[in-house]
Amino acid sequence: MEDSSYQESIESKEKLTISSAGQFIELLESEGNQSKAIYRVIKPGWSGNGYYYSKDVTPQLVPLIQAKPMFFADHLEPKDKKDMIFGQKLREGVAMAEEVWADDSGQVLAKLVSLENPHTSWIWEAAQKHPDHIGNSIDAYGTVKTGEAEGKKGRIVQSFKGYDSTDFVYRPSAGGKFLSVTT
């Protein structure tokens, strides 16, 4: 997938249709103060933290994200997580995923809409100005085995069994990236 086609959509800020591996997506002009984005949540391959995600495994995230569509700012610290009963703080909410799907290559994509949260609005500005510096990390769990893929040995994700959240971070490890943003 070429990111250059998405750059054009960032600049036009009008109703547009973009293609993602043969699928067509309509991105609407942002309304009021609400920002919208087409976002890549994960792509198959080796992650920066040593996990391998195959194109058959990554789509397992789609129904998990659809069930918990809010994206947050940063992960909870383990010490905070053990004391939480209901998950992330709403104050940290950044976006809602209106649509989530996997393309033919196994990338998981989402159409995001901002929450108009004054605590996290800076993320949208940063995503528009510096899309390569804001990504996400997925707080999920599943089954992993040691193995080899693409000529490299490491931890191979076999399946996702659960999911807590998708959180925006400075250094995404599995391909999370804003592909198109309107503010």
Res 154: pLDDT: 95
What range defines the domain where residue 115 resides? 4-182
pLDDT averaged over consecutive 10-residue blocks of the chain (183 residues)?
38 36 41 80 94 97 95 66 52 87 97 85 86 86 95 96 87 88 82
What span, in angstroms and rounded, lies between the C-alpha atoms of 48 and 35?
Answer: 29
Q: Judge whether 32 and 121 are in contact, CB under 8 Å.
A: no
Element (H, E) at 147: strand 135-149
Res 32: pLDDT: 57
User: What is the number of domains present in the chain?
Assistant: 1
How far from 136 is each of 14, 24, 30, 114, 153, CA to CA, in Å?
A: 26, 23, 22, 15, 24
CA angle 86, 90, 96 (to 5 degrees): 105
Q: Judge whether 41 and 61 are in contact, CB under 8 Å.
A: yes
pTM attached to this predicted model: 0.77
